[in-house]
Amino acid sequence: MYGQNHAQYADSIRAAHAIPELSYAVVNGSKTLEINASGLHSIDLTDVASLNDRFHIGSNTKAMIAFIIAKYVEKGKLKWTSKFFDLFPDLKKTSKPEYYAITLEKLLSHQARIQPFQGENDPAVPNFTGTHQEKRNQFGKFVLTLNPAEIETDHKYVYSNAGYTLATMMVEKVSGKSWEKLVDEVFNKDLKLDVKLSWPENVKAKDTWGHSFENNKLSPVPSNTDYHLDYTEPAGDINIKLTDYIKFVQLNIQGLQGQDNYLKASTYRFIHKGIEGYSLGWFNSYENNQDFSTHSGTAGTYYTIASIDRKKFIGYIIFTNSFNEATVNGVRLLMRKLKKDYGS
């Protein structure tokens, strides 16, 4: 309906805001209404954007880990009200008493007062050793020795990447599988998507380069750069093609429409709308008399956003491979235009 006009508008936004590559899609529960990719893999390359390109989605990973956990709740292995220390009683003696009552849903909705670990003013973390899972468990034990974060008066939550590590420890414990294995099992094997961890491989293969913003300019970042997510990978370290992420968003839209699929419709309702402010992996927001599930994600070199109109059952997704104020402003303008034209 609007595809051609929006593609031109998106590309003009991309150029005006110096975004190397921008891909977007508008979808409903059963089809892609429009999709487009424009720009280049890197400001230093001539490789042209395509719909096969992969993007690091940062904190949009949170909705995907909540989705995995929801499956184990449906299987009866966990409850949303399961207490963390019922699964890890041996950690209680070194943890602050304020954390004793934390539950799975409190962790996933950022209401457990866990320190944020968002990359700014984080407490110094010891050097942990072992497998990724063993290091995450040591990190989780360490996090629970820290003083609780203060909840801001205008929110009922403190956004915490570390809280998602603790929630992940719970599903790892009851499943007997690592987060890495669970991601592969649920998304790649069960749902036939192509989900990978860490940054898109751009050194050994042609794909997107994330761009950091330093000294007032964008710099392409090779995928072999160590970027220290400090054991909070389950909160933000997945990369995916837009076409596969669309399928994930469509499962959520179908669920919100009352259809059972990989999860039950009642589970999707709780994931998206069960908790005020921030539900489970999605901001539960109300704007312009509409209700939306929305989330953005960045680890400093890509910027992605997804927004689901829960009244019209339309999903809006924008992926970019840069992160700075100009990128965020450009994405905001495109999102506003798409929502306006589709009546959201």
**Residue range 183-233, pLDDT digits in tens:** 999 999 999 999 999 888 888 889 999 999 988 899 989 888 876 666 888
- Model confidence pLDDT, tens digit, residues 264-313: 999 999 999 999 999 999 999 886 788 999 999 999 999 999 999 999 99
Contact 341, 284 (CB under 8 A): no
Contact 139, 161 (CB under 8 A): no
- Model confidence pLDDT, tens digit, residues 31-48: 999 999 999 999 999 999
Six token digits for residue 299? 């680890």
Whole-angstrom Cα distance, residue 201 to residue 210?
A: 11
Domains and CATH numbers, the chain: 3-59+182-341 (3.40.710.10), 66-178 (3.40.710.10)
| Radius of gyration (C-alpha) of the chain in whole angstroms | 20
Mean per-residue pLDDT over the chain, rounded: 94
Contact 218, 324 (CB under 8 A): yes
Which residue in the block uniquely carries the two structure tokens 């100009």? 326
Six token digits for residue 3? 């595809």
Six token digits for residue 121? 């003013």
Which residue in the block uniquely carries the two structure tokens 């491989």? 201
- Model confidence pLDDT, tens digit, residues 98-147: 999 999 999 999 999 999 998 778 888 998 999 989 999 999 999 999 99
pLDDT, residue 229, reads 66
User: In a 3-state reduction of DSSP, which class is residue 260?
Assistant: coil
Residue at 263: amino acid letter: L
Whole-angstrom Cα distance, residue 313 to residue 306?
A: 13
Give the residue, 222 or 25, on which the prediction is more confident. Answer: 25
For residue 132, give the nearest of 241, 237, 240 by alpha carbon: 237
The predicted model scores a pTM of 0.96
Whole-angstrom Cα distance, residue 288 to residue 167?
A: 33
Contact 218, 212 (CB under 8 A): yes
Six token digits for residue 64? 């995907």
For residue 263, give the nearest of 77, 68, 28 by alpha carbon: 68
pLDDT, residue 332, reads 98
**For residues 320-343, average pLDDT:** 97
**Number of neighbours of residue 44 by Cβ within 10 angstroms:** 13
Contact 60, 79 (CB under 8 A): no
Element (DSSP H or E) covering residue 37? strand 32-39
